[in-house]
């Protein structure tokens, strides 16, 4: 008998013993884990794309964590070229920093990278379904319906203008609240203003009320302490009439739980073993750690309050319509209580609670629009809930980062601040309306230049549908996670001379102006193609109205302990780390 046969027979005999079976199972498990950790097939498929060597299981995550995502993607692109790969755990991202390719791929690939959400959290059950329905992450028909809802509320000019009264009113409360930071009161020991926090509060108040149509009750005079109601019982809070304050608190918490330092252990597992994601979610549900419980809790809370607002909004509207038919409402609730009493009382109670959603709000618009819509276009309840929270998630941090950094850049560039003040002063005595906001080219240039230097969303994530042949012949495999880097293009000296300098004039047309970007993909602060930011008009409206209102009353200089340039970090968005500290001067 040959030695091979002998070996095979003894191996078979060993496997048939209990010890042998255990050994075999262990060997299979180790083999399986090595396969998952080394992903040889995937490495082979992406062998043509240069990039740093990825560790088993972790890929380049240790370097990303040490250096920050934005800086790391910039570093690898400089080292390995405009098409290179980075391993996020066991999954490769193809980082693209070539303007022609970015333009082509953003037009060709209309879906966001699949499983983008799996890099952020491990949501399960209903909240996972809600997250997947968000216009930001969704695909196909769900995305189209969600995007249309946004377009109806914040792109259509009449509806967009309908949001201005809320913006004006909130600014009317916010701007005077900064008087206590002016240098006169600073001599009494008042520390400088943390513009990142203050403008964050402002943007939460504005975007929250625009989204849900209830006052978020943000207290601009309060120092530090979290505001809003107790988060334990959403329905009790809403019934107690502080639904806006409660929503403000939850929204802040939603941003906090997404920070890397608050990630659950299951997120790390999900990053290392994406193919085991369903099992990891199941385990996270069964045995949640504290961070997982916190993340699920706040998302469930947000869904519960949104659902309650929707229900109350719908029933109040129905009752109002019914009461209006009896002319009760028109008579200021004095009509025949016998016939209309129930409806009138319900409306009065709801209004007294302060919980009735304003008709101009995004949520009210969605509820109204779905009444006339055909079955295919009608948003489900989960979709309404998803788009409402997306409204805040997509706008609050992005807008506050842009505005607070614009203030810092103006504080450190007195000549730019002077040019902006001249434009502001020319509007003296005029109310802020759509016409006025359209006449502020320098303010707009300041915002664009701020977003060029510090784009809050600086990677456009796309999913490669089908194999894509690049001009040099290499093939991007079907399903690739594409990271189109706005940041790298915004800082490319071939596209922007002296890219690290703050020069708003780059965006001015006419004499002395740079005329704007020299390539269609050179500036993509709001993204590109079909998935471009649907809120860019609203964002610009809020940004301009804020700068105009602030500079009518104050000027700003940089506080002594504020580092320049500011330290930045990439979380859900790319923003300043440790605050933006400014001195405020009354004009």
User: Which is closer to ligand HEM, CB of 39 or CB of 209?
Assistant: 209
- Cβ contacts of 304 within 8 Å, gap of 6 or more: 234, 235
Site for ligand HEM in 12-71 (CB under 6 A): none
Determine if 487 is a binding residue for ligand HEM (CB under 6 A): no
Q: Which of 208, 213, 525, 579 binds ligand HEM (CB under 6 A)?
A: 525
Rounded Cα gap, residues 210 and 175, in angstroms: 19
Contact 524, 393 (CB under 8 A): no
Rounded Cα gap, residues 60 and 64, in angstroms: 6
Determine if 535 is a binding residue for ligand HEM (CB under 6 A): yes
Q: Annotate each residue in 352-391 with x if it binds ligand HEM (CB under 6 A) or - if it does not, as one string.
A: --------------------------------------xx
CB of 173 to ligand HEM, least distance (A): 20
CB of 194 to ligand HEM, least distance (A): 19
Transcribe 347-372 into DSSP letters: HHHHHHHT-PPPTTSHHHHHHHHHHH
CB of 113 to ligand HEM, least distance (A): 10
- Residue of 527, 530, 448, 519 whose CA lies nearest to 484: 527
Site for ligand HEM in 412-451 (CB under 6 A): 451
Q: Annotate each residue in 142-161 with x if it binds ligand HEM (CB under 6 A) or - if it does not, as one string.
A: -----x--x---x-------
Ranges assigned E (strand) in 184-316? 193-194
Q: Which of 250, 323, 394, 582 binds ligand HEM (CB under 6 A)?
A: 394
Rounded Cα gap, residues 198 and 581, in angstroms: 10
Q: Which of 90, 395, 417, 549 binds ligand HEM (CB under 6 A)?
A: 395
| Residue 392, phi then psi, degrees to nearest 5 | -75, -45
- Cβ contacts of 254 within 8 Å, gap of 6 or more: 298, 299, 302, 389, 393
User: Which is closer to ligand HEM, CB of 200 or CB of 535?
Assistant: 535
Determine if 402 is a binding residue for ligand HEM (CB under 6 A): yes
Bond preceding residue 421 cis, omega within 30 of 0: no
From residue 545, give the alpha-carbon distance in Å to each of 170, 215, 321, 549.
11, 19, 35, 6
CB of 522 to ligand HEM, least distance (A): 15
**What is the SS3 assignment for 240?**
coil
CB of 129 to ligand HEM, least distance (A): 18
CB of 547 to ligand HEM, least distance (A): 12
Q: Which of 457, 489, 550, 558 binds ligand HEM (CB under 6 A)?
A: 457
Helices and strands, number each (H, E), in the chain: 25, 11
Site for ligand HEM in 77-136 (CB under 6 A): 135-136
CB of 569 to ligand HEM, least distance (A): 16
Determine if 576 is a binding residue for ligand HEM (CB under 6 A): no
Q: Which of 533, 545, 550, 558 binds ligand HEM (CB under 6 A)?
A: 533
Rounded Cα gap, residues 284 and 118, in angstroms: 13
34 is in an annotated binding site: no
CB of 507 to ligand HEM, least distance (A): 15
CB of 45 to ligand HEM, least distance (A): 25
Determine if 255 is a binding residue for ligand HEM (CB under 6 A): no
Rounded Cα gap, residues 563 and 412, in angstroms: 11
From residue 491, give the alpha-carbon distance in Å to each of 104, 141, 381, 458, 524.
20, 36, 42, 11, 12
User: Which is closer to ligand HEM, CB of 163 or CB of 413?
Assistant: 163
User: Which is closer to ligand HEM, CB of 258 or CB of 328?
Assistant: 258
Determine if 251 is a binding residue for ligand HEM (CB under 6 A): no
Contact segment (CB under 6 A) with ligand HEM among 69-77, 156-164, 392-400, 550-558 equals 392-400
CB of 399 to ligand HEM, least distance (A): 5
Contact segment (CB under 6 A) with ligand HEM among 314-322, 371-379, 424-432, 454-462 equals 454-462
Determine if 305 is a binding residue for ligand HEM (CB under 6 A): no
Task: Please state, as a whole number, how many other Cβ atoms lie within 10 Å of the Cβ of residue 477.
Answer: 15
CB of 106 to ligand HEM, least distance (A): 6
| Cα diameter, the chain | 106
Determine if 454 is a binding residue for ligand HEM (CB under 6 A): no
Location of structure tokens 């806006």: 244
Alpha helices (runs of H) in 454-532, residue ranges in sequence order: 486-490
Site for ligand HEM in 260-289 (CB under 6 A): none
Contact 138, 153 (CB under 8 A): no
Determine if 249 is a binding residue for ligand HEM (CB under 6 A): no
Residues near ligand HEM (CB under 6 A), total: 28
Rounded Cα gap, residues 503 and 402, in angstroms: 15
Contact segment (CB under 6 A) with ligand HEM among 34-42, 159-167, 423-431, 522-530 equals 522-530
Rounded Cα gap, residues 76 and 84, in angstroms: 7
Transcribe 440-507 into DSSP letters: -HHHHHHHHHHHHHS-SS-EEEEE--S-EE-TTS-EEPTT-EEEEEHHHHHT-TTTSSSTTS--GGGG
Location of structure tokens 């359209």: 438
C-alpha 498, offset from chain centre: 29
Contact segment (CB under 6 A) with ligand HEM among 226-234, 237-245, 408-416, 532-540 equals 532-540
From residue 37, give the alpha-carbon distance in Å to each of 49, 64, 195, 335, 480.
20, 18, 44, 73, 18
Ranges assigned E (strand) in 11-79? none
User: Which is closer to ligand HEM, CB of 402 or CB of 555?
Assistant: 402
- Site residues for ligand HEM per CB under 6 A: 135-136, 147, 150, 154, 390-391, 394-395, 398-399, 402, 451, 456-457, 460, 525-529, 531-535, 538-539
Binding residues: 533
Binding residues for heme: 533
């Amino acid at each position: 008998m040959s030695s091979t046969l002998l070996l095979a027979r003894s191996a078979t005999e060993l496997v048939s013993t209990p010890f042998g079976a255990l050994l075999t199972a262990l060997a299979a498990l180790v083999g399986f884990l090595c396969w998952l950790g080394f992903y040889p097939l995937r490495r082979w498929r992406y062998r043509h794309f240069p990039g740093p060597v990825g560790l088993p299981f972790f890929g380049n995550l240790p370097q990303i964590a040490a250096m920050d995502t934005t800086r790391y993607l910039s570093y690898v692109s400089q080292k390995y070229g405009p098409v290179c790969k980075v391993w996020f755990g066991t999954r490769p991202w193809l980082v693209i920093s070539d303007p022609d390719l970015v333009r082509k791929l953003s037009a060709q690939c209309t879906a966001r990278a699949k499983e983008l959400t799996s890099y952020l959290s491990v949501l399960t059950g209903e909240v996972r379904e809600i997250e997947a329905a968000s216009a930001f992450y969704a695909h196909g028909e769900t995305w189209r319906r969600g995007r249309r809802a946004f377009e109806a509320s914040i792109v259509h000019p009449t509806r967009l203008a309908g949001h201005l009264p809320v913006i004006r009113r909130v600014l009317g409360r916010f701007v005077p609240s900064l008087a206590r930071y002016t240098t006169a009161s600073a001599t009494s020991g008042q520390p400088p203003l943390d513009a990142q926090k203050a403008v964050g509060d402002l943007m939460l108040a504005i975007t929250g009320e625009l989204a849900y149509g209830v006052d978020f009750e943000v207290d601009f005079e309060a120092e530090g302490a979290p505001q809003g109601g107790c988060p334990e019982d959403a329905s009790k809070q809403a019934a107690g009439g502080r639904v806006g304050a409660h929503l403000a608190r939850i929204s802040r918490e939603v941003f906090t739980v997404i920070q890397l330092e608050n990630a659950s252990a299951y997120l790390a597992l999900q990053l290392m073993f994406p193919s085991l994601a369903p099992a990891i979610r199941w385990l996270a549900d069964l045995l949640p750690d504290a961070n997982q419980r916190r993340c699920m809790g706040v998302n469930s809370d947000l869904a519960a309050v949104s659902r309650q607002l929707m229900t109350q909004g719908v029933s109040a509207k129905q009752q109002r319509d019914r009461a209006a038919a009896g002319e009760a409402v028109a008579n200021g609730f004095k009509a025949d209580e016998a016939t209309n009493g129930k409806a009138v009382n319900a409306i009065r109670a709801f209004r007294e609670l302060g919980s009735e959603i304003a008709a101009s709000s995004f949520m009210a618009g969605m509820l109204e629009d779905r009444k006339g819509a055909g079955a295919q276009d009608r948003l489900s309840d989960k979709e309404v809930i998803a788009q409402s929270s997306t409204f805040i998630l997509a706008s609050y941090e992005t807008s506050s980062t842009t505005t607070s950094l614009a203030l810092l850049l103006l504080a450190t560039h007195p000549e730019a601040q002077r040019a902006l003040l001249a434009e502001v002063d020319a509007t003296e005595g005029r109310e802020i309306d759509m016409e006025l906001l359209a006449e502020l080219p320098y303010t707009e240039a300041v915002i664009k230049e701020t977003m060029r230097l510090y784009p809050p969303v600086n990677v456009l994530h796309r999913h490669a549908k089908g194999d894509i042949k690049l001009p040099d012949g290499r093939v991007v495999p079907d399903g690739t996670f594409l990271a189109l880097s706005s940041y790298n293009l915004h800082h490319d000296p071939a596209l922007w001379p002296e890219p690290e300098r703050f020069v708003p004039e780059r965006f001015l047309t006419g004499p002395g102006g740079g005329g704007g970007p020299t390539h269609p993909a050179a500036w993509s602060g709001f993204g590109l193609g079909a998935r471009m930011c649907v809120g860019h008009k609203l964002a610009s409206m809020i940004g301009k109205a804020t700068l105009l209102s602030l500079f009518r009353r104050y000027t700003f200089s940089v506080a002594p302990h504020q580092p320049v340039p500011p330290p930045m970090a990439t979380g859900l968005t790319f923003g300043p780390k440790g605050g933006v500290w400014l001195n405020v001067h009354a004009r």
